[in-house]
Amino acid sequence: MSIPPIELINVTKTYGEFKAVDDISFTVPEGTICGFLGPNGAGKTTSIRMMLDILRPSSGSISILGAPRALDVRRRIGYLPEEKGLYKKMTATAMIAYFATLKGVPAREAKTTAGQLLEKYGLGSFQNHKCEALSKGMGQKVQVLASIAHDPDLVILDEPFSGLDPVNQGVMEEVIRDIRTRGKTILFSTHVMSHAERICERVVIMAAGRLIFDGTVEEAQSLLPRRVRVRGEGAASTLEQMHEVLSSSPSTDGREGVVELRLREGADPQKLLKNAFEKKIALEIFEVVDPNLHEVFVHLVGEDAREAAFR
């Protein structure tokens, strides 16, 4: 098995009394898209900065692409920070090329790549525009492209979707998937669960400096009980008697007479269907609903998540 691109072992970062990151350990396997989730102040940015060796952890160890310090392998890492800025007076091409050269790409090659990337992601006609003339969304795309122009093996994006309209969010997802297609590893932090749900294979969730989940999206979803929505005469009253069902309540999806049954952990919805069939209940609706990541997130981080979820 290959060395995981990101491996954190018992990493802690303290500022005086305050523990910004408290004893976290996780790994991100090669070639995966990993979502890094957590409410504001959870310690995501601090963790990312430690992975990049911009900050040193107070204790614990970090291995990035097999190296103890990210700076040793900086040419193989791409990074987009949370707050995005550009050199206002530089052109989009020059800006992307500059960051690529800092990562060791020869100047001429960097310039060519910059032009190609801008072309590919719909900014071809803005190549020679100064960054100050770009819209916020365009500027952000330029920054993302600047962080990947040297074709890094590991890409770390801090809040890549924030501030983008839905169309550009789609483009950003495309960028991330493209990187993955080339066999690279991506870690990105976000507050928007739908993005994570759509493109991530794994998620790492942090809250208040601690790691509260690390696993695949399916594993995360399995943390919450599944639900079954039913409609039909006597369906709800019969099925809610079953051992598998925890509770029932009218469905909130707006449809008349639909009842939502929450299942016990590990319960098989097929048993409910079988039971209804045996009891000869005329089912009009029988839907198995998997919990979404948002619900898992809210469940895991509780009240802390409120602020984050509505961002």
Partner 1 sequence: MIQVFRIAQREYMENVKTKGFWIGIIIFPILIWMMIELPKFLEEQGIPTRHLIIVDRSDGSGDIARQRITLLNRQKILAGLQKHMADATKSQREEKMDEIDLDPDQLLDQLEEGLERLGNPDLEIQPFQPDQLVKIGDLLPEQMLLDDTQWRNLKKLLLSQLPEDTPEFIEPPLRFQEVLLPDGYSLSNSDEEIEDLMRPYLRSEKNLKFGEEEVELFALLIIPEDVLKTNTRVRFWSPNLADNDLIDGILDSLSEEARQLEYNRRGIESKDVAEVASMKVRSVKFNPNKREGDEKVGIRDKIRQYAPIGFVYMLWVAIFTIAQMLLNNTIEEKSNRLIEVLLSSVTTTELLLGKVFGVAAVGVTMQCAWIGSLIAILRYKAGPSATWIADLIAAVITPELLGGFVFYFIAGYFFYAFLFAGIGSICNTIKEAQNFMSPLMLLMMVPLGTMTFIPNDPNGAIATALSWIPPWTPFVMMNRMAASPPVSEIYGTAALLLISVLVVFWLSAKIFRIGVLRTGQPPKLMELFRWLRGTHS
- Beta carbon nearer to partner 1, 89 or 279: 89
- Do 73 and 67 meet the contact criterion of CB atoms below 8 Å apart? yes
Burial-class residue 173 by CB neighbours within 10 Å (0-12, 13-18, 19+). Answer: middle
How many whole angstroms separate alpha carbon 54 and alpha carbon 68? 13
How many whole angstroms separate alpha carbon 45 and alpha carbon 158? 7
- Beta carbon nearer to partner 1, 28 or 236: 28
How many whole angstroms separate alpha carbon 233 and alpha carbon 282? 7
DSSP one-letter code for 69: S
- Using the contact rule CB under 8 A, the part of the chain among 95-103, 189-197, 280-288, 291-299 near partner 1 is 95-103
Burial 141-160 (b: 16+ CB within 10 A, else e): bbbbbbbbbbbbbbbbbbbb
Q: Based on the shown chain and the rule CB under 8 A, indicate whether residue 72 belongs to the binding site for partner 1.
A: no
State which of residues 85, 166, 183, 254 lies at the interface with partner 1 (CB under 8 A): 85
- Beta carbon nearer to partner 1, 143 or 168: 143
The minimum distance between CB 160 and partner 1, in angstroms, equals: 13
SS3 199: helix
- Beta carbon nearer to partner 1, 90 or 283: 90
Residue 271 makes CB contacts below 8 A (sequence gap 6+) with: 242, 244
SS3 65: coil
Bridge partners of 24, per DSSP, are 11
Bridge partners of 262, per DSSP, are 227, 247
Q: Binding to partner 1 (CB under 8 A): which residues in 114-153?
A: 143, 146-147
State which of residues 26, 36, 79, 286 lies at the interface with partner 1 (CB under 8 A): 79
The minimum distance between CB 144 and partner 1, in angstroms, equals: 11
Q: Based on the shown chain and the rule CB under 8 A, indicate whether residue 277 belongs to the binding site for partner 1.
A: no
The structure tokens listed for 241 are 């008697």
Within 13 Å, how many C-alpha atoms sit on residue 163's CB side?
14
Q: Binding to partner 1 (CB under 8 A): which residues in 39-58?
A: 49, 52-56
The minimum distance between CB 98 and partner 1, in angstroms, equals: 6
Q: Based on the shown chain and the rule CB under 8 A, indicate whether residue 102 belongs to the binding site for partner 1.
A: yes
- Using the contact rule CB under 8 A, the part of the chain among 86-94, 213-221, 265-273, 276-284 near partner 1 is 86-94
How many whole angstroms separate alpha carbon 18 and alpha carbon 224? 32
- Beta carbon nearer to partner 1, 76 or 202: 76
State which of residues 10, 87, 219, 274 lies at the interface with partner 1 (CB under 8 A): 87
- Beta carbon nearer to partner 1, 143 or 169: 143
State which of residues 26, 36, 99, 161 lies at the interface with partner 1 (CB under 8 A): 99
The minimum distance between CB 187 and partner 1, in angstroms, equals: 13
State which of residues 8, 11, 28, 80 lies at the interface with partner 1 (CB under 8 A): 80
State which of residues 12, 27, 101, 275 lies at the interface with partner 1 (CB under 8 A): 101
What is each CA distance from 270 to 225, 227, 244, 274, 283, in whole angstroms?
Answer: 14, 12, 11, 6, 14
The minimum distance between CB 116 and partner 1, in angstroms, equals: 20
Q: Which residues bind partner 1 (CB under 8 A)?
A: 15, 49, 52-56, 70-71, 74, 77, 79-90, 98-99, 101-104, 143, 146-147
